[in-house]
């Protein structure tokens, strides 16, 4: 057992650290509800991000499924290594944002779950989207306002890049709220658990995700302006998108003496060729609108 110290509580469990955004779930009913969301079956593979003092890990292990956990906090890793888990567990002492996710998943279909650290929940989610072909299901606890951003519909304040990219790859098919009192220590915000189930037919190819993300960030950083006006001042955005696709720049249709098109005009033309109104704002386009537009951008590059 871990010896009690200023880094541990009376039971020997390490204390939550503010710098890691740690808040540990203690409500047994909610823990079981989260684990039920995983729809775990034998012969499946599972990864937990940031297990902390095993508040989800131990109950999951009692269900009899092997598990790989990724934990950045050395105190937590030592605590986990001293526990006796009912099912096999692999403990990886790594920062998930630095982890080789491909090596972690090993090409296997893997369900992922976590009480995500609030301060890195969006970067972790965004990183996992690049491996959606191996992740059929994810169950995550978020700060409620972040969960609502992921679930947001167009023409709302919460709608943004993470809404678009997530919803092009996953259906958010279940969620529930979690009050601060369910945690130790209680956070100052409400939380929400959401389940993301991979779409049978994704709206965008994984290879296009980086380029689409560049486009979305550019637009949503100026979300109150009209798309047409933004694209006229998009600078080298088209070139940077082309670089993510490993396409030679410029494409035939841009920076061409015959057409007179420059980089910015090329993006605007691709947008208008989809039939979209230049006076729309970024939040007025649906995830599928963005997918259609991005396919048109690619076609212009290779035409």
Q: What is the DSSP letter of 14?
A: B
Which of these, 74, 75, 69, lies nearest to 91 by C-alpha position? 69
pLDDT tens, 20-75?
445 689 899 999 999 999 999 999 999 999 999 999 999 999 999 999 999 999 99
Q: At 21, phi and psi to the nearest 5?
A: 65, 35
Q: What are the residues whose beta carbons fall under 8 Å from the beta carbon of 220, sequence distance 6 or more?
A: 160, 161, 282, 283
- Count of CB atoms situated within 10 Å of the CB of 28: 11
- Maximum CA extent, the chain: 76
3-state helix, strand, coil in the chain (%, to 5): 40, 15, 40
Model pLDDT, residue 242? 86
Q: Give the C-alpha distances (Å, rounded to integers) separating 17 from 98, 112, 184, 185.
A: 20, 23, 11, 10
Q: Point out which residues pair with 69 in neighbouring strands.
A: 48, 91
Tell me the pairing of strands 137-143 and 89-93.
Answer: unpaired
Domain 18-202 has CATH 3.40.30.10: no
Domain range summary for the chain, segments of one domain joined by + = 18-202, 207-302
Rounded to two decimals, what is the model's pTM?
0.89
Q: Which residue has the higher pLDDT, 37 or 256?
A: 37
pLDDT above 70 covers a percentage of the chain that reads 86
Most confidently modeled range among 107-116, 178-187, 239-248: 107-116
Which of these, 303, 229, 213, lies nearest to 264 by C-alpha position? 229
Q: How many residues does the chain have?
A: 303
Confidence of residue 279 (pLDDT cuts 50, 70, 90): very high
Q: Which residues of 232-242 are buried (b: 16+ CB within 10 A; e: fewer)?
A: eebeebbbbbb
pLDDT tens, 85-113?
999 999 999 999 999 999 999 999 999 99
CA angle 54/93/213 to nearest 5° reads 95
Q: Are 126 and 162 in contact (CB under 8 A)?
A: yes
Q: What phi-psi label fits residue 119: left (phi over 0), alpha (psi between -120 and 50 degrees) or beta?
A: alpha
Across the chain, mean pLDDT equals: 89
Which tokens is 64 given?
């009899």
Q: Are 135 and 112 in contact (CB under 8 A)?
A: yes
Q: Are 142 and 43 in contact (CB under 8 A)?
A: no
Burial zone of 303 (CB within 10 Å; 0-12 exposed, 13-18 middle, 19+ buried):
exposed
């Amino acid at each position: 057992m871990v010896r009690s110290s200023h880094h541990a509580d009376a039971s020997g469990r390490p204390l939550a650290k503010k710098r890691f955004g740690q808040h540990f779930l203690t409500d047994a009913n909610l823990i079981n509800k989260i684990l039920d969301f995983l729809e775990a079956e034998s012969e499946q593979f599972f990864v937990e991000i940031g297990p902390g003092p095993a508040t989800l890990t131990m109950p999951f292990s009692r269900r009899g499924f092997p598990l790989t956990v990724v934990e950045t906090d050395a105190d937590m890793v030592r605590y986990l290594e001293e526990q006796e888990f009912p099912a096999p567990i692999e403990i990886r002492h790594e920062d998930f944002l630095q982890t080789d996710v491909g090596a972690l998943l090993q090409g296997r279909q893997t369900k992922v779950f976590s009480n995500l650290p609030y301060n890195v929940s969006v970067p972790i989610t965004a990183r996992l989207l690049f491996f959606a072909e191996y992740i059929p299901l994810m169950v995550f606890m978020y700060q409620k306002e972040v969960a609502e951003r992921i679930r947001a519909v167009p023409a709302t304040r919460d709608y943004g890049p993470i809404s678009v990219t997530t919803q092009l790859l996953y259906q958010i098919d279940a969620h529930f709220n979690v009050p601060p009192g369910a945690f130790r220590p209680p956070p100052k915000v409400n939380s929400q658990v959401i389940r993301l189930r991979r779409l049978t037919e994704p709206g965008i190819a994984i290879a296009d995700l980086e380029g689409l993300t560049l486009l979305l960030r550019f637009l949503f950083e100026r979300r109150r302006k009209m798309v047409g006006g933004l694209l006229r001042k998009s600078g080298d955005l088209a070139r940077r998108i082309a670089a993510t696709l490993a396409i030679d720049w410029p494409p035939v249709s841009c920076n061409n003496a015959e057409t007179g098109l420059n980089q910015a005009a090329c993006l605007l033309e691709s947008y208008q060729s989809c039939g979209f109104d230049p006076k729309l704002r970024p939040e007025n386009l649906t995830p599928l609108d963005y997918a259609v537009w991005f396919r048109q951008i690619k076609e212009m590059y290779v035409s």
